[in-house]
């Protein structure tokens, strides 16, 4: 009977110790936790995309593979454009922005978007490029369906960095780089020629060069004061 009472006492002490530990963690994280951010208003991507840049002029959007099941959360934005150059070549552009703490932009990753719509990713490569004087990475994809091929080039910005895989973006978050917003800029054309990727590269470089400071911040993550 003695031992039962002792055990009860020990358990009570232990329980209070564990409960105190939990309460301490709750209090500490409650204090550390950033105040719930009310998402800033989504950037007006439609207004930010230039109507023309370099040799490119805005054109009606052709039958392009666009993200489906769109359900924008607060702070998110997406815009579509098609541009035509003097030679009549058409490139479809998708620009998307996701506020910090969302994984929406990673959801719009072209790989999954195309695969979900019946395309197969035939090839994938990452090329380093310089956009407005800053190092960036562009992912090139060839996506094929039985009826058509698409050449796709995109950059995915996660915070200040350009990431080429969703796992890399997730890893960033564990690496002390929290609260990253993100943006996706995707150029695509019908076909699978390597020429198209060169075209995309100059298209994207011209596009980046033509962005106003606000759009540059949203899509490239370059701070306002950086004049390249």
Partner 1 sequence: MPRGFQLNISAPPTSWSPALVIGALLAAWGALYLPVYVEFAEGAWRRDENAHQPFIMAIAVGVAWSALMRGDFRFVAGRTGFVCGALVLCTGLAAYALGRTAEATLLLSASQGLVATGLTLALFGFKGLVRLWFPLALSFYLIIWPAWALEALTSPLKRLISEWVSAGLFAAGLPVSHAGAVISAGPYQLLVADACAGLNSLIALTAVGAVYLYAVKRRSWRVNSAVILSLAPIAIAANAARVAILVLITHYLGYDAGQSFLHETAGLVMFAAALGGVFFADWLAALFWEKRR
Which residues are within 8 A (CB) of 199 and not within 5 positions of it... i.e. 6 or more apart?
Answer: 89, 91, 189
Radius of gyration of the chain (CA): 24
Stretch that binds partner 1, among 40-48, 74-82, 89-97, 108-116 (CB under 8 A): 108-116
Question: Alpha helix (H) ranges present in 125-184?
Answer: 166-174
Least distance (Å) between residue 153 CB and partner 1: 20
Stretch that binds partner 1, among 78-86, 166-174, 203-211, 212-220 (CB under 8 A): 166-174
Least distance (Å) between residue 69 CB and partner 1: 7
Does 161 help bind partner 1 (rule: CB under 8 A)? no
Q: Which is it for strands 149-158 and 134-144: parallel, antiparallel or unpaired?
A: antiparallel
Does 167 help bind partner 1 (rule: CB under 8 A)? yes
Q: Which three-class secondary structure state does DSSP give residue 98? A: strand
Tell me the CA end-to-end span of the chain in Å, nearest whole number: 81
- Kindly list the residues in this chain that would bind partner 1 in the complex (CB under 8 A): 3-4, 7-12, 14-16, 18-23, 25-30, 32-34, 68-69, 101, 103, 106-107, 112, 115-120, 145-146, 166-167, 170, 173-174, 178-179
């Amino acid at each position: 009977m003695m031992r039962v009472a002792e055990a009860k006492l020990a358990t009570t002490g232990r329980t209070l110790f564990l409960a105190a530990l939990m309460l301490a963690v709750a209090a500490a994280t409650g204090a550390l936790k950033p105040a719930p951010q009310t998402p800033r208003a989504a950037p007006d991507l439609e207004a930010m995309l230039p109507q023309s840049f370099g040799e490119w002029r805005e054109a009606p959007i052709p039958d392009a593979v666009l993200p489906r099941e769109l359900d924008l959360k607060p702070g998110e934005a997406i815009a579509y454009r098609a541009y035509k150059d003097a030679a009549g070549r058409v490139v479809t552009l998708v620009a998307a922005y996701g506020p910090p703490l969302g994984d929406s932009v990673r959801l719009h990753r072209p790989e999954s978007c195309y695969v979900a719509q019946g395309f197969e990713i035939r090839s994938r490569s990452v090329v380093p490029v310089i956009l407005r004087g800053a190092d960036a990475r562009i992912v090139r994809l060839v996506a094929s369906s039985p009826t058509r091929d698409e050449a796709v080039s995109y950059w995915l910005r996660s915070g200040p960095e350009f990431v080429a895989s969703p796992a890399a973006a997730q890893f960033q978050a564990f690496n002390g780089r929290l609260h990253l917003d993100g943006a996706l800029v995707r150029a695509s054309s019908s076909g699978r020629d390597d020429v198209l990727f060169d075209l995309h590269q100059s298209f994207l470089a011209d596009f980046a060069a033509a962005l106003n400071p606000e759009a540059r911040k949203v899509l490239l993550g370059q701070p306002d004061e950086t004049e390249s």
